[in-house]
C-alpha cells in the first residue's frame, strides 16, 4: 500500500470514538470506505464494546459520515474461540487475555479473511498503535503516539500477513486529539466513555460469570510451607499476583503465588515469594523476522504495564532483574525500543 493510493478499506467500527475517527480520517483522505460492526456477544454487557447500543452508535456515525455500514454476526465464532477458552482457562487455574484472542481469531482472523474475499485492500481499526515500513517495505508494528493509550500490546500476536493489510490511522494521535477531531466533526461518539477490557462480562461480574459456567471445586488455601490458612469454593476466582478478595486474615499483605487446579489448591505468599528469574513460554508469534537466541528484548506482561529487559531464548525469557511471577495464560509482548517483535503465552 503506497502513499497517495486510493484504497478500498473496511473499517471495524466498534461504536467508540477511536474507530469513529479512524473511519472519518480514511474518508477525508479520499479512500473508498465501508464500515462494519461485529456482533459478537448476545448476553448482558455494560462494557462499552460489542453491545446493542454500540452497534447503534457505529451505525449512526457511519450515517453521519455518509458511509455504507454493515453488521457481521460472528457470535458463534466468538463463543467458540474466545468465551469458551476463557472459561476453560480459569477452570484450569490459568488467566486468559480474551481481548488478545479476539484480535487473533476474530478481527484479524475471520474479519480479515472476509475483507479479502470482498475485495478490500485493507482492514482499518481505531487501535492506538502504528504501522511503519522498513527499507524493504515490510510492515513494522510500533507503539502508539500516546503512551497512556498505547494498544500495541494487544496487537502483538499479529504477523506479517495481517500487518501488511492493516491501517491504524489514530495511532499517530493522542487520545485528546482524537476527541477534539470527533467534536469538530460533530460525531455522536466524541465524548463516549472508553470500553472495559472484557466485553462479555459486566463490571465486577467476573466471578458470577464464571460461577454460572464452572462447577464449584472447593479446596484449601495454603501458605508457602503448605499450612492450611483458609478455604475456597473454586480456583476460578483466583489469579497469580492477586492480593484482594482472598478472605484470609493475615498480619501482612499476601498474594496468590500459585494456583493448582489439579489439587484445587491456592498458595499464598508475600511479595518476595512472587519474584521469578524468568518465564516459560508457548505459542510464540513474530511480527516479522525471528529473534536470535540471546537477544536482549523489552518484555511487557500487561496491556498498560511497564516493559522490562529480558534475554530471549526461544521457549523462555530470563529477566535481567527478577520480576513478579506472571499468571499462566497471560500474553508477553516483546519489544525493541518502540517496535513490537512478537508475543508468546506464559506457560
Residues acting as catalytic residues: 102, 199
Rounded Cα distance, 132 and 21, in Å: 20
Give the bridge partners for 228, in sequence order. 222
Q: What are phi and psi of 301, to 5 degrees?
A: -115, 0
The residue with cell 467476573 is 206
Let me know: does 19 contact 34? Beta carbons within 8 Å.
no
Rounded Cα distance, 15 and 29, in Å: 21
Helix (H) and strand (E) counts in the chain = 10, 17
Neighbours of 53 (CB within 10 A): 12
Hey, what's the cell of 127? 487501535
Rounded Cα distance, 26 and 118, in Å: 18
Q: What is the DSSP letter of 45?
A: -
Let me know: does 196 contact 49? Beta carbons within 8 Å.
yes
How distant, in Å, are the alpha carbons of 71, 148, 195 from that of 18?
18, 14, 11
Closest listed residue to residue 182, CA positions, set 32, 16, 11: 16
Amino acid at each position: 500500500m503506497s502513499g497517495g493510493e486510493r484504497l478500498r478499506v473496511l473499517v471495524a467500527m466498534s461504536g467508540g470514538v477511536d474507530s469513529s475517527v479512524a473511519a472519518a480520517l480514511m474518508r477525508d483522505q479520499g479512500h473508498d470506505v465501508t464500515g462494519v460492526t461485529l456482533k459478537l456477544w448476545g448476553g448482558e454487557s455494560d462494557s462499552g464494546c460489542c453491545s446493542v447500543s454500540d452497534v447503534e452508535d457505529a451505525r449512526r456515525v457511519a450515517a453521519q459520515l455518509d458511509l455504507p455500514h454493515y453488521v457481521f454476526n460472528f457470535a458463534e465464532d466468538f463463543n467458540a474461540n474466545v468465551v469458551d477458552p476463557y472459561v476453560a482457562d480459569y477452570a484450569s487455574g490459568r488467566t486468559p487475555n480474551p481481548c488478545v484472542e479476539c484480535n487473533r481469531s476474530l478481527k484479524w482472523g475471520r474479519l480479515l479473511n472476509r475483507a479479502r474475499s470482498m475485495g478490500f485492500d485493507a482492514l482499518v481499526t481505531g487501535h492506538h498503535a502504528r504501522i511503519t515500513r522498513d527499507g524493504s517495505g515490510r510492515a513494522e508494528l510500533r507503539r502508539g503516539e500516546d503512551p497512556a493509550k498505547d494498544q500495541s500490546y494487544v496487537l502483538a500476536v499479529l504477523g506479517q500477513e495481517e500487518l501488511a493489510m492493516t491501517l491504524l490511522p489514530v495511532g499517530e494521535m493522542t487520545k485528546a486529539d482524537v476527541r477534539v477531531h470527533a467534536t469538530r466533526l460533530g460525531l455522536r461518539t466524541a465524548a463516549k466513555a472508553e470500553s472495559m477490557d472484557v466485553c462479555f462480562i459486566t463490571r465486577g461480574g467476573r466471578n458470577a460469570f464464571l460461577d454460572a459456567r464452572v462447577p464449584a471445586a472447593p479446596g484449601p488455601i495454603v501458605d508457602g510451607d503448605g499450612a492450611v490458612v483458609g478455604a475456597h469454593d473454586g480456583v476460578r476466582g483466583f489469579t497469580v499476583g492477586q492480593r484482594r478478595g482472598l478472605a484470609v486474615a493475615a498480619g501482612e499483605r499476601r498474594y496468590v503465588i500459585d494456583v493448582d487446579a489439579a489439587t484445587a489448591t491456592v498458595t499464598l505468599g508475600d511479595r518476595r515469594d512472587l519474584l521469578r528469574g524468568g518465564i516459560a513460554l508457548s505459542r510464540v508469534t513474530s511480527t516479522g523476522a525471528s529473534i536470535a537466541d540471546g537477544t536482549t528484548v523489552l518484555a511487557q506482561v500487561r496491556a498498560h504495564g511497564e516493559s522490562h529487559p529480558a534475554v530471549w531464548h526461544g521457549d523462555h525469557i530470563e529477566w535481567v532483574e527478577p520480576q513478579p511471577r506472571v499468571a499462566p495464560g497471560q500474553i508477553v509482548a516483546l519489544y525493541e525500543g518502540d517496535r513490537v517483535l512478537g508475543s508468546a503465552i506464559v506457560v
